[in-house]
Amino acid sequence: MLRILLLLLAVLVIVLLIPWFLSRRSMPSAGSAAPGFTLPSQEGSPVTLKDFRGKWVVLYFYPKDQTPGCTREAHNFQVDQPKFAARNAVVLGISVDSVESHKAFCSKEGLNFKLLADTSGEVAKEYGSLTSLGMVKFADRHTFLIDPAGKIVKVYASVDPNRHSEEVLAALEQLQKG
Protein backbone atom coordinates (compact mmCIF):
# COMPACT_ATOMS: atom_id res chain seq x y z
CA MET A 1 0.00 0.00 0.00
CA LEU A 2 2.84 2.39 0.86
CA ARG A 3 4.46 1.69 -2.53
CA ILE A 4 1.25 2.60 -4.33
CA LEU A 5 0.94 5.85 -2.38
CA LEU A 6 4.56 6.77 -3.10
CA LEU A 7 4.08 5.95 -6.78
CA LEU A 8 0.92 8.10 -6.93
CA LEU A 9 2.73 10.93 -5.19
CA ALA A 10 5.63 10.70 -7.65
CA VAL A 11 3.22 10.75 -10.62
CA LEU A 12 1.40 13.75 -9.16
CA VAL A 13 4.67 15.65 -8.69
CA ILE A 14 5.73 14.84 -12.26
CA VAL A 15 2.35 15.87 -13.68
CA LEU A 16 2.55 19.24 -11.88
CA LEU A 17 6.23 19.97 -12.40
CA ILE A 18 6.64 19.09 -16.08
CA PRO A 19 4.17 21.76 -17.28
CA TRP A 20 5.78 24.21 -14.86
CA PHE A 21 9.26 23.57 -16.27
CA LEU A 22 7.97 23.72 -19.84
CA SER A 23 6.18 27.01 -19.21
CA ARG A 24 9.24 28.73 -17.74
CA ARG A 25 11.05 31.25 -19.86
CA SER A 26 14.04 33.17 -18.65
CA MET A 27 13.48 36.75 -17.58
CA PRO A 28 14.81 39.47 -19.87
CA SER A 29 17.92 40.96 -18.31
CA ALA A 30 18.95 44.51 -17.56
CA GLY A 31 20.28 46.06 -20.75
CA SER A 32 17.84 44.27 -23.06
CA ALA A 33 14.89 45.82 -24.86
CA ALA A 34 11.63 45.44 -22.96
CA PRO A 35 9.32 43.04 -24.82
CA GLY A 36 6.41 44.97 -26.29
CA PHE A 37 2.78 44.23 -25.52
CA THR A 38 -0.78 45.50 -25.75
CA LEU A 39 -3.18 44.51 -22.97
CA PRO A 40 -6.56 45.80 -21.73
CA SER A 41 -6.60 47.92 -18.57
CA GLN A 42 -9.21 47.91 -15.83
CA GLU A 43 -11.16 50.42 -17.96
CA GLY A 44 -11.17 47.93 -20.84
CA SER A 45 -9.06 50.19 -23.06
CA PRO A 46 -5.90 48.79 -24.67
CA VAL A 47 -2.55 49.84 -23.22
CA THR A 48 0.63 49.42 -25.24
CA LEU A 49 4.10 49.62 -23.75
CA LYS A 50 5.18 51.91 -26.62
CA ASP A 51 2.57 54.44 -25.41
CA PHE A 52 4.99 55.25 -22.60
CA ARG A 53 8.14 55.95 -24.63
CA GLY A 54 9.78 59.01 -23.14
CA LYS A 55 8.74 57.96 -19.62
CA TRP A 56 10.17 55.58 -17.08
CA VAL A 57 7.96 52.51 -16.61
CA VAL A 58 7.66 50.43 -13.48
CA LEU A 59 6.24 47.19 -14.87
CA TYR A 60 5.27 44.94 -12.01
CA PHE A 61 3.79 41.46 -12.20
CA TYR A 62 1.74 40.16 -9.31
CA PRO A 63 -0.14 36.91 -8.58
CA LYS A 64 -3.76 37.83 -7.78
CA ASP A 65 -6.13 40.74 -7.22
CA GLN A 66 -7.49 41.23 -3.72
CA THR A 67 -4.99 39.03 -1.91
CA PRO A 68 -3.07 40.40 1.09
CA GLY A 69 0.42 40.77 -0.43
CA CYS A 70 -0.85 42.05 -3.78
CA THR A 71 -3.16 44.55 -2.08
CA ARG A 72 -0.32 45.83 0.12
CA GLU A 73 1.99 46.20 -2.87
CA ALA A 74 -0.70 48.02 -4.91
CA HIS A 75 -1.52 50.35 -2.00
CA ASN A 76 2.12 51.30 -1.67
CA PHE A 77 2.40 52.05 -5.38
CA GLN A 78 -0.82 54.09 -5.12
CA VAL A 79 0.45 56.16 -2.17
CA ASP A 80 3.70 56.82 -4.06
CA GLN A 81 2.01 57.87 -7.34
CA PRO A 82 2.95 61.58 -6.90
CA LYS A 83 6.60 60.60 -6.32
CA PHE A 84 6.64 58.44 -9.46
CA ALA A 85 4.96 61.21 -11.48
CA ALA A 86 7.59 63.70 -10.23
CA ARG A 87 10.24 61.33 -11.64
CA ASN A 88 8.49 61.05 -15.04
CA ALA A 89 7.52 57.45 -14.26
CA VAL A 90 4.34 55.44 -14.61
CA VAL A 91 3.39 52.27 -12.77
CA LEU A 92 1.75 49.40 -14.67
CA GLY A 93 0.61 46.27 -12.86
CA ILE A 94 0.04 42.98 -14.71
CA SER A 95 -1.62 39.77 -13.57
CA VAL A 96 -3.53 37.00 -15.32
CA ASP A 97 -6.77 38.25 -13.72
CA SER A 98 -9.56 39.57 -15.94
CA VAL A 99 -10.48 43.18 -16.72
CA GLU A 100 -13.54 42.74 -14.47
CA SER A 101 -11.39 41.52 -11.58
CA HIS A 102 -9.01 44.49 -12.03
CA LYS A 103 -11.94 46.90 -12.18
CA ALA A 104 -13.37 45.56 -8.91
CA PHE A 105 -9.91 45.58 -7.27
CA CYS A 106 -9.24 49.20 -8.30
CA SER A 107 -12.70 50.30 -7.19
CA LYS A 108 -12.49 48.57 -3.82
CA GLU A 109 -8.91 49.67 -3.07
CA GLY A 110 -8.98 53.17 -4.61
CA LEU A 111 -6.29 52.43 -7.20
CA ASN A 112 -5.94 54.85 -10.10
CA PHE A 113 -2.91 53.52 -11.96
CA LYS A 114 -3.23 50.98 -14.76
CA LEU A 115 -3.70 47.29 -14.00
CA LEU A 116 -3.45 45.19 -17.14
CA ALA A 117 -5.25 41.92 -17.78
CA ASP A 118 -2.96 39.24 -19.23
CA THR A 119 -5.57 36.47 -19.18
CA SER A 120 -3.65 34.32 -21.67
CA GLY A 121 -0.46 34.69 -19.63
CA GLU A 122 1.54 35.40 -22.79
CA VAL A 123 3.06 38.70 -21.60
CA ALA A 124 3.92 37.24 -18.19
CA LYS A 125 5.54 34.32 -20.00
CA GLU A 126 7.50 36.68 -22.27
CA TYR A 127 8.87 38.35 -19.13
CA GLY A 128 9.69 35.02 -17.46
CA SER A 129 7.03 35.74 -14.86
CA LEU A 130 4.40 33.06 -15.45
CA THR A 131 3.88 30.00 -13.31
CA SER A 132 1.58 27.24 -14.50
CA LEU A 133 0.66 24.46 -12.12
CA GLY A 134 -1.60 22.22 -14.13
CA MET A 135 -4.68 24.28 -14.91
CA VAL A 136 -3.73 27.10 -12.52
CA LYS A 137 -1.76 30.03 -13.94
CA PHE A 138 -0.48 33.05 -12.08
CA ALA A 139 2.14 35.76 -12.48
CA ASP A 140 5.19 35.66 -10.25
CA ARG A 141 5.98 38.78 -8.23
CA HIS A 142 8.63 40.35 -10.49
CA THR A 143 9.28 43.97 -11.46
CA PHE A 144 11.06 45.51 -14.43
CA LEU A 145 12.23 49.12 -14.42
CA ILE A 146 12.23 50.35 -18.02
CA ASP A 147 13.94 53.54 -19.14
CA PRO A 148 12.38 56.16 -21.46
CA ALA A 149 13.99 54.50 -24.52
CA GLY A 150 12.32 51.15 -23.74
CA LYS A 151 15.35 49.38 -22.28
CA ILE A 152 15.15 47.33 -19.09
CA VAL A 153 17.55 48.89 -16.58
CA LYS A 154 16.71 46.92 -13.44
CA VAL A 155 15.07 43.56 -12.75
CA TYR A 156 13.57 42.60 -9.40
CA ALA A 157 13.21 38.81 -9.23
CA SER A 158 12.57 38.83 -5.49
CA VAL A 159 10.06 41.36 -4.18
CA ASP A 160 8.91 42.26 -0.68
CA PRO A 161 5.46 43.83 -1.23
CA ASN A 162 5.78 45.82 2.00
CA ARG A 163 8.69 47.96 0.82
CA HIS A 164 8.93 47.40 -2.93
CA SER A 165 7.53 50.76 -4.01
CA GLU A 166 10.09 52.71 -2.00
CA GLU A 167 12.83 50.34 -3.20
CA VAL A 168 11.92 51.09 -6.84
CA LEU A 169 11.73 54.83 -6.12
CA ALA A 170 15.23 54.75 -4.63
CA ALA A 171 16.60 52.92 -7.67
CA LEU A 172 14.85 55.34 -10.00
CA GLU A 173 16.39 58.28 -8.15
CA GLN A 174 19.87 56.75 -8.43
CA LEU A 175 19.45 55.98 -12.13
CA GLN A 176 18.24 59.48 -12.89
CA LYS A 177 21.16 61.05 -11.01
CA GLY A 178 23.85 59.12 -12.78
pLDDT tens for 107-125 read: 999 999 999 999 999 999 9
Average pLDDT, the chain: 90
**What is the average pLDDT across 64-88?**
95
Pairing of β 89-95 and β 56-61 = parallel
pLDDT-above-70 percentage for the chain: 92
- On the question of pLDDT at 19 being above 70, the answer is no
Q: What is the pLDDT at residue 135? A: 80
Task: Give the domain extent around 66.
Answer: 2-177
Structural domain tally of the chain? 1
- Least confident range from 8-17, 79-88, 105-114: namely 8-17
The alpha carbon dihedral of 6, 7, 11, 17 has a sign of positive
70 given a catalytic annotation: yes
* From 27, 59, 70, 152, the catalytic residue: 70
Strands 46-48 and 38-40: antiparallel
Q: Compute the average pLDDT of residues 43-61.
A: 96
- pTM of the shown model: 0.84
CATH number at residue 24: 3.40.30.10
Give the model confidence (pLDDT) of 55-70 as tens digits. Answer: 999 999 999 999 999 9
